[in-house]
Amino acid sequence: QITIDKIAAGEVIERPASIVKELVENAIDAGASLVTIEIKDGGISFIRITDNGSGIERADVRNAFLRHSTSKIQNVEDLAYISSLGFRGEALSSIAAVTQTELITKTKEEMNGTRYVIEGGQEKLLEDTGAPNGTTFLIRQLFYNVPARRKFLKTPMTEAGHIQDLLMHLALSHPEVCFQFINNGQEKLRTSGNGKLKDVIYQIYGRDVAANLLDIDFEKGGIHITGYLGKPVITRGNRNFENFFVNGRYVKSSMISKSVEDAYKDFVMQHKFPFVVLHFHVNGEEVDVNVHPTKMELRFQKQQEVYSAVFEGVHRKLLEPEL
């Protein structure tokens, strides 16, 4: 069991940012309106994530750390197949398998909170504790028991950068959640959680960007595009300013990038890339999700339709007289 958890962990947990992603998504699933993320050493030695969500009932705590889909995995060969379907219900067991994990949680119905400690997949402690409603995870010493993987981690600065990027994207897809990110005691990101995407953009990118936005709301062929386009006066030398979300999830898509850049072509200098935050609302059946769960590059069934919807929506907006 522990060996399979460790192997499974390798598929889900690549680096500290993978842990932050799973735990923050769990907090959002639990209805949290406030999520605080604190890291040290790029998250390699320390990650603390606190939310004000539902909490986990004492009776469910152990269960939350069991792989929900044990029967799916018979042997190591199956892993390749399972990874193509996506791991669900495996995050906590995977994280606990390769770290020293501590959980403090309380539901609003319970008098007492629960403290649970599990290290390398081995339960160490389950006890009562005083706690506010919600959940705190403390994750220490990633891959302390898998030296071969620990070796492949990058510098704390690089790992912290991955976490910062991830949290920017989570904040841009959840304007209704207040995020606070603290790296080595320094606040790096704080969003208000007031539900306004434009305010999140201001909080992440600052006044220059927020003051130069065009809002877009365009629909064509079942593809609904909303969000903001940076005016051509704000550009970057790389694609880091392009943010795409499909049905609420951050994705990378070279096809969408190409389409946006083609639409901007007549308005920006060569080798300059626009600022955009675009949310796509599409029918799930038109998105090919058959990619590795931890990879973000995705494909659409109707590539050509998506390309032309994006191009038309963006190009039309850029031609509007207010420019």
* CA-to-CA dists, residue 127 to 69, 95, 114, angstroms: 27, 20, 6
Using CB under 5 A as the binding rule, the residues of this chain from 85 to 104 that contact Mg ion are 91
Query: Among 9, 20, 37, 56, which residue interacts with ligand ADP (rule: CB under 6 A)?
Result: 56
What's the closest the beta carbon of residue 209 comes to ligand ADP, in angstroms?
Answer: 31
Asked if 89 is part of the footprint of ligand ADP (rule: CB under 6 A), the reply reads yes
Handedness of CA 94, 96, 100, 102 (dihedral sign): positive
Using CB under 5 A as the binding rule, the residues of this chain from 123 to 182 that contact Mg ion are none
What's the closest the beta carbon of residue 23 comes to Mg ion, in angstroms?
Answer: 8
Asked if 309 is part of the footprint of ligand ADP (rule: CB under 6 A), the reply reads no
Query: Among 8, 9, 20, 64, which residue interacts with ligand ADP (rule: CB under 6 A)?
Result: 64
Asked if 51 is part of the footprint of ligand ADP (rule: CB under 6 A), the reply reads yes
Asked if 50 is part of the footprint of Mg ion (rule: CB under 5 A), the reply reads no
Burial of 7 (0-12, 13-18, 19+ CB in 10 A): middle
Distance CA 135, CA 209 (A): 35
C-beta closer to ligand ADP: residue 174 or 231: 174
Taking Cα atoms as reference points, which of 22, 97, 83, 93 lies closest to residue 293? 83
Distance CA 46, CA 209 (A): 33
The DSSP secondary structure of 275-306, one letter per residue, reads: -EEEEEE--GGGEE--S-TT--B-EETTHHHH
Query: Among 5, 8, 20, 26, which residue interacts with ligand ADP (rule: CB under 6 A)?
Result: 26
C-beta closer to Mg ion: residue 11 or 41: 11
Distance CA 73, CA 71 (A): 5
What's the closest the beta carbon of residue 217 comes to Mg ion, in angstroms?
Answer: 31
**Taking contact as CB under 6 A, which single stretch among the options 36-44, 50-58, 146-154, 235-243 is the one that binds ligand ADP?**
50-58
Asked if 261 is part of the footprint of ligand ADP (rule: CB under 6 A), the reply reads no
Query: Among 8, 18, 26, 73, which residue interacts with Mg ion (rule: CB under 5 A)?
Result: 26
Distance CA 228, CA 279 (A): 9
Distance CA 237, CA 322 (A): 25
Compute CA 139 distance to the chain's CA centroid, rounded to the nearest angstrom: 17
**Taking contact as CB under 6 A, which single stretch among the options 84-92, 229-237, 245-253, 303-311 is the one that binds ligand ADP?**
84-92
56 binds, among ligand ADP, Mg ion, none (CB under 5 to 8 A by kind): ligand ADP
Asked if 22 is part of the footprint of ligand ADP (rule: CB under 6 A), the reply reads yes
Amino acid, single-letter form, for residue 81: Y
| Site size with ligand ADP, rule: CB under 6 A | 16
Retrieve residue 117's tokens.
């400690």
Tell me which residues touch ligand ADP (CB under 6 A): 22, 26-27, 30, 51, 53-56, 64, 88-92, 135
